[in-house]
Structure 1
Amino acid sequence: MQFLSDNAAPVHPRLWDAMRDADTTDAPYDGDALSRSLDKAFSDLFGMDCAVVWTSTGTAANCLALATLVPPYGGVVCHDDAHIEQDEAGAPEFYTHGAKLMLAHGPHAKLTPDNVAAVIDPIRDDVHRVQPHAIAITQATEQGCVYTPDELAALTAYAKAKGLKVHMDGARFGNAVAHLCCSPAEAGPAHGIDTLSFGMIKNGGMSAEALVLFDPARAAEAKRRHKRAGQLQSKGRYLAAQLLAMIEGDLWLSNARAANHAAAAIAKAAGDRLLYPCQANEVFVTLSADEREGLRAQGFGFYDWGADAARFVTAWNTDAADADKLAAALASL
């Protein structure tokens, strides 16, 4: 009974079908018909003009986005629990050729105008200090919480007033939209987000993520960086096919809803043990070492989260019976 990560889930069958359909002769790299249709498909999804570059990993999508927004001598404000800080092995600094991550603190791994101001206000405006150029946020956050449209509007208004760009790490963007019951635009782009890494792999995809640029004029630079980073695959139509299959018929959203539903059942059973509100597909629970050992002995797979907690992650294909068994096991502790 697997709750280690949504990365452990299989590929959705519709994506295999889409890749088989794409298995014909076409132009190489990103010149094929499917890759060339991505801009319009995602523009229709968000209701605004955008340019899309496929990448093979979320790390690449995040870091290429930051590299288009921030010069090597600039800074990026992010939460100290952000994926770009904790889990990308210095890739943001590598892709940007040296831009500095500036760490903010706050509950539920969220940035607010106040906690961003606490980081950047003390910075002198002179050549001896790295100056901030962008803010990077995660939707849903690394603690499984979701920015509301009002929170996003406040943060992006603050960023604009300070002359800062905004990148959104959307590894679990679909789960956030499913929780908010809003349009994809209202979960981020409508509020002035500059770039979005639209996560597909955690949500039923195989090997393709979407770097979405809401200023299409930035696409040329992003594509040059994309090639230089070794991300321009020669048979890009197979990546494009995955992205298009995910957004066709809102498969990305129905997959996210299924994962959220399973997580909600587990979170309800956790009760007072719940560390953070469960608003997406991650459940963080206080558990002793003995309790974790006991759950693993019953066949549940999950990650420890520090000395006294565990993280359970559901996916698009999580078996409802497995989720119910975990819920019952947690409720019985």
Structure 2
Amino acid sequence: MQFTSDNAAAVHPALWRAMHAADAADSPYDNDALSRELDGAFSRLFGRECAALWVATGTAANCLALAALVPPHGGVVCHREAHIEMDEAGAPGFYLHGAKLMLAEGDSARLTPASIAAVIDPIRDDVHQVQPHAVSITQASEYGCVYRPAELAAIGAFVRARGLGLHIDGARFANAVAFLGCAPAEACAGADVLSFGFVKNGGMGAEAIVFFDPEMARVIRYRRKRAGHLQSKGRFLAAQILAMLEGDLWLDNARAANAAAQAIAAAAPGRLLHPVEANEIFLATSPAERAALRAGGFEFYDWGKDAARLVTAWDTNPDHAAALARAIARL
């Protein structure tokens, strides 16, 4: 019974069907009919003109998005536990040619205007110090916590007042939207660019970089090629993304994952280290308790020596989630 990662989940059958349907001769790279549909599909989803590029990985999506906002001599403010800091092996510095990550604090891996200000206010406005050019937040955060629209509005207003860009790492953006029950645009309000995740939500190998200023995408098309992410048969990436957007499959999948997480969290209110708002559960557990859960057939990751991380997915078996809830309650 697997609760290690939503990356381990199966590919949704609708995506296999879409990729099979795309298996016909068409123009290469991103000039095929499906890739040309992406701008319109995301523009309709967000209710404003967008430009969207596919890439194969979330790391590439985040770093290419930031490359549109930050020069090599600049800096990006992010949470000290953000994925771009902890889990991308220095890729932001590689893609941004040396730009610096400026680490901020915040509960449940979320930032606020005050925590951003605490990082950038002490920086002198001179050539001897790296100047901030953008802020990157994660929706939902690394601890599965969701920014509310009002919180996003406050960050967006602060960022604009300081002349900075705003990037949102949306590896689990679908889970955030499903939790909020709002329009997608409200869950990324104020962003200049969104890394819209699909792989964790039933995709096979496609993520989208959504630019809310279409002109920003122009130079990133060149950077995507230079980075080795312009796939020659890009129609298969576009097919996955369009299949997820069709009929709001992306939201249905996220709702299923969130529901499974809630079923597990309900069994352990006293153990929760962070609010469960998406599809991740962080539980206070001893090594012996984790061993007992594993002996019961449950797979998950340790989170330090006194906690466990449990992740549900679109295809989490409800019986497995219920069994895990019962096992946690018995600890």
Instruction: Give the TM-score, by structure 1 length.
Output: 0.99
Number of aligned residue pairs: give it.
331
Residue 300 of structure 1 aligns with an amino acid whose one-letter code is F
Distance apart, 1:271 and its partner CA: 1.4
Match of 1:243 among 241, 244, 247: 241
The 5-angstrom pairing of residues 237-316 of structure 1 reads 237-316=235-314
- Distance in 2, matches of 1:38 and 1:271, equals 42
SS in 2 for 1:230: coil
SS in 2 for 1:103: strand
The 5-angstrom pairing of residues 175-186 of structure 1 reads 175-186=175-186
**1:5 maps to what in 2?**
5
- Distance in 2, matches of 1:36 and 1:106, equals 39
SS in 2 for 1:29: coil
- Distance in 2, matches of 1:239 and 1:194, equals 23
The 5-angstrom pairing of residues 153-164 of structure 1 reads 153-164=153-164
Kindly provide the CA deviation profile for residues 154-194 of structure 1, in whole angstroms up to 9, marking residues without a partner as x: 00100000001000000000000000000000000xx2200
**1:51 maps to what in 2?**
51
SS in 1 for 2:268: helix
Residue 113 of structure 2 aligns with an amino acid whose one-letter code is P
Distance apart, 1:58 and its partner CA: 0.3
SS in 1 for 2:195: strand
Asked if residue 114 in structure 1 is aligned to residue 149 in structure 2, the reply is no
Asked if residue 62 in structure 1 is aligned to residue 62 in structure 2, the reply is yes
Kindly provide the CA deviation profile for residues 5-50 of structure 1, in whole angstroms up to 9, marking residues without a partner as x: 0000010000000000000000000000000010001100110111
The 5-angstrom pairing of residues 178-257 of structure 1 reads 178-188=178-188, 191-257=189-255
Kindly provide the CA deviation profile for residues 216-241 of structure 1, in whole angstroms up to 9, marking residues without a partner as x: 00111010000000000000000000
- Distance in 2, matches of 1:23 and 1:131, equals 47
- Distance in 2, matches of 1:156 and 1:270, equals 35
Identity of aligned residues (%): 68
The 5-angstrom pairing of residues 121-160 of structure 1 reads 121-160=121-160
- Distance in 2, matches of 1:261 and 1:271, equals 16
Residue 270 of structure 2 aligns with an amino acid whose one-letter code is D
Kindly provide the CA deviation profile for residues 55-89 of structure 1, in whole angstroms up to 9, marking residues without a partner as x: 00000000000011100000000000100000000
Kindly provide the CA deviation profile for residues 260-300 of structure 1, in whole angstroms up to 9, marking residues without a partner as x: 00000111111110000000000000000000011001000
- Distance in 1, matches of 2:140 and 2:103, equals 18
- Distance in 2, matches of 1:330 and 1:51, equals 45
CA RMSD of aligned residues (A): 0.4
- Distance in 1, matches of 2:140 and 2:225, equals 29
- Distance in 2, matches of 1:228 and 1:198, equals 21
Instruction: Give the TM-score, by structure 2 length.
Output: 1.00
- Distance in 2, matches of 1:44 and 1:89, equals 35
Runs of 4+ in 1 over 4 A off after TM superposition: none
SS in 2 for 1:49: coil
- Distance in 1, matches of 2:79 and 2:307, equals 21
**Structure 1, unpaired ranges of 5+:** none
